[in-house]
Amino acid sequence: MPVLTADKPAIPTYTMTQSTSAGNSMIEVREVDNHCGQLRLDPAFLIPHRKDYYLFVLVKSGSNRHWIDFMPYTIKPDTFYFTVPQQVHLKEHAGPMEGLMASFTAEFLQLEENRVLQLLPIIQNPSAAHELLLSKKDMVFVEDTMRKMLDEFKADGSWRNQMLTSWLRVLVIYLSRLYNEQFSETCITPNYCLLKSFQALIGEYYSTRHDVAAYAEKLNITPGYLTEVIKQQSGKTAITHIHQRLIVEAKRRLLHTDLSVKQIADELGFEDAAYFNRFFKRLAEATPINYRLQIREMYS
């Protein structure tokens, strides 16, 4: 598995406009086929990298292998793949693929008229899944919707953005139904929304805020109430959520980069590398160095 070496130690993050050539829109749609191989041939996508946007991919044909964080996926026909911002991606090789691809930014979901979409399962992804198996009926509907998006994206007609946004909403809602059919359904309540807001804040501040009180302050509630709701909603304490995100980020860097333990500790906001070493060992049951050796041997 490729890793980032000393000359490029950090995991790069690509924006939507770096991944495509269509401009600054909050939505991008494209077709991927044997005659359109820009993404497959770009060597930047053959090393570990992050994307700062949501990615939806409908696969019609293809059989290459793709990593999302620590999980390998073999690309299969009639399958829908989806990822959220800041996950680590790695393509093992530049194999052919035919399908459709749609990407959109977090800013799109933050628009007033789109905020309700943030609560849908395909966006929240409570099961930490990355693929949906499509029936023939679902394949027809999803492909038809994405082709309408593609046509609108290429066009320059009146109310283009409104049409494109409308089709994306349809796609997100339909995929959320499929998500609930294939994975456990989660009831949307105010406390569940608080859990998701807390998790979103962790994603934004994990490297600078390691204490529950800091997140409670941002949410305008007491630390005790935050801890109570998070425990009730997820079965885990609030501090456990913070610690688990730190461990995931540390594992990403240990697997995909050659950063030293001290450099990783610094990136994650630990002033003392020795404390970070103890913290990691307590939660991961291995020292950072041993984990790096074990995980690379496992996936080599």
Q: Which domain holds residue 294?
A: 190-299
pLDDT confidence of residue 51: 86
CATH of the domain at 178: 2.60.120.280
Query: Within this chain, do residues 198 and 165 fall inside the same structural domain, yes or no?
Result: no
Q: What is the pLDDT of residue 191?
A: 86
Instruction: Please tell me whether residues 81 and 196 are part of one structural domain.
Output: no
Secondary structure percentages of the chain, helix, strand, coil, to 5: 50, 15, 30
Residue 38: its pLDDT value, please? 46
116-146 tens-digit pLDDT: 898 888 998 877 788 899 999 999 999 999 9
Rounded to whole angstroms, the Cα distance separating 279 from 79 reads: 39
Whether 2 is covered by a domain: the verdict is no
Q: Are residues 70 and 159 in the same domain?
A: yes
The pair of structure tokens assigned to 281 is 């060992």
pLDDT at 111: 86
CA distance 213 to 140: 48
For residue 3, tell me if it sits in a domain.
no
91, 66 contact by CB (below 8 A): yes
User: Do residues 122 and 195 share a domain?
Assistant: no
- The span from the CA of 250 to the CA of 247, in Å, is 5
168 with 196, same domain? no
Exposure class string for 261-274: b at 16+ Cβ within 10 A, else e: beebbebbebeebe
- The pLDDT, as a whole number, for residue 184 is 65
Strand partners, 100: 31, 58
Q: What is the CATH number of the domain that holds 280?
A: 1.10.10.60
Compute the CA torsion angle 147, 149, 155, 157 (nearest 10 deg).
130
Q: Is residue 5 part of a domain?
A: no
Q: Answer yes or no: do 65 and 204 share one domain.
A: no
Q: Where are the alpha helices (DSSP H) in 183-272?
A: 190-205, 212-218, 223-234, 238-256, 261-267
Give the residue from 149, 182, 215 where a domain finishes.
182
Q: Which one-letter amino acid corresponds to residue 265?
A: A
Q: What are the tens digits of pLDDT across the range 174-232?
A: 999 999 888 865 556 788 888 888 988 998 899 999 999 999 999 999 999 999 999 98
Spans in the chain with pLDDT lower than 70: 1-9, 17-24, 34-46, 70, 92-94, 184-188, 299-300
The pLDDT value recorded for residue 5 is 53
pLDDT at position 50, please? 83
Determine the residue type at 141: F
